[in-house]
Amino acid sequence: MSCILNIETSTSACSVALSQDGQNIFTKEDLKGPSHATALGVFVDEALSFADNHAIPLDAVAVSCGPGSYTGLRIGVSMAKGVCYGRNLPLIGIPTLKALCVPVLLYHDELPENALLCPMIDARRMEVYAAVYDRSLKPICDIAANIIDENSYKEILDVHPIYFFGDGADKCKDKIKHTNAHFIDDVQPLAKMMFPLAEKAMAEENFEDVAYFEPFYLKEFVASKPKKLL
């Protein structure tokens, strides 16, 4: 039986979960965030203590690897690598946008067979990190930072219904008005939704190089200048 520690910090939400053979045995979440710097260490310690107290050996650590918040991803990946080093565990990198599709596939049976999924993470202003997948999570459009306007995804929407979701989708409702465009509210990246992808990677031994693994930032980090005090 495999037990995987899952870490998700790609957006303002911070969550940690333990899966045992794909089943949720421990979850800690702070959805109000951002609290990664203070909450993540506590959540991970509690998860590790839970596993140790129940004599459940960990087999791997899975971490949401982006794109998303630069700071959140850096904190999450650093924590995951630390646990891997400390316990000599393999590391699994989970693409954030692909994991964001999991709750939609699990809880929305009404999706037609030809539906496409477009998870979106807010990248500020009218820009989003997005990708398009079919229902088997095969990529139709690669992950990209897109500036959304009235013509976004039009060629695909002319052929397929697309379901948009994630915190980046909210600001696109007023721009994407195609009749094949559908929006699903209240979908956010959570550690417990990484389970199917983490279990698959574990079974395939699809592990990362702990020493050299870095988050998929997609864009270069640009530090904003502090405002001058009057």
pLDDT band at 230 (very low <50, low <70, confident <90, very high): very low
What is the rounded average pLDDT of the residues 49-72?
A: 97
Residue 123 has pLDDT above 90, yes or no: yes
For residues 33 and 90, the model is more confident at: 90
Residue 36 has pLDDT above 90, yes or no: no
* Angle subtended at Cα 46 by Cα 42 and Cα 51, rounded to the nearest 5 degrees: 150
Please check whether residue 199 is in contact with residue 19, taking contact to mean a CB–CB distance below 8 angstroms: yes
Q: What is the pLDDT of residue 223?
A: 46
pLDDT band at 71 (very low <50, low <70, confident <90, very high): very high
Residue 225 has pLDDT above 70, yes or no: no
What is the rounded average pLDDT of the residues 54-59?
A: 98
Q: What is the pLDDT of residue 219?
A: 74
State the burial class of residue 217 (Cβ atoms within 10 Å of its Cβ: 0-12, 13-18, 19+): middle
Residue 218 has pLDDT above 70, yes or no: yes
User: Residue 87 carries which DSSP code?
Assistant: H
User: Residue 166 carries which DSSP code?
Assistant: S
CA atoms within 13 A on the CB side of 178: 21
Q: What is the pLDDT of residue 33?
A: 72
For residues 50 and 223, the model is more confident at: 50
What is the rounded average pLDDT of the residues 212-225?
A: 74
Q: What is the pLDDT of residue 220?
A: 61
Listed residue (114, 126, 108, 129) closest to 159, CA to CA: 114
All structural domains of the chain, each given as residue ranges with its CATH number in brackets, are: 3-96+189-203 (3.30.420.40), 97-184 (3.30.420.40)
For residue 74, count other CB atoms closer than 10 A to its CB: 17
Listed residue (111, 52, 119, 118) closest to 86, CA to CA: 52
Residue 16 has pLDDT above 90, yes or no: yes
pTM: 0.92
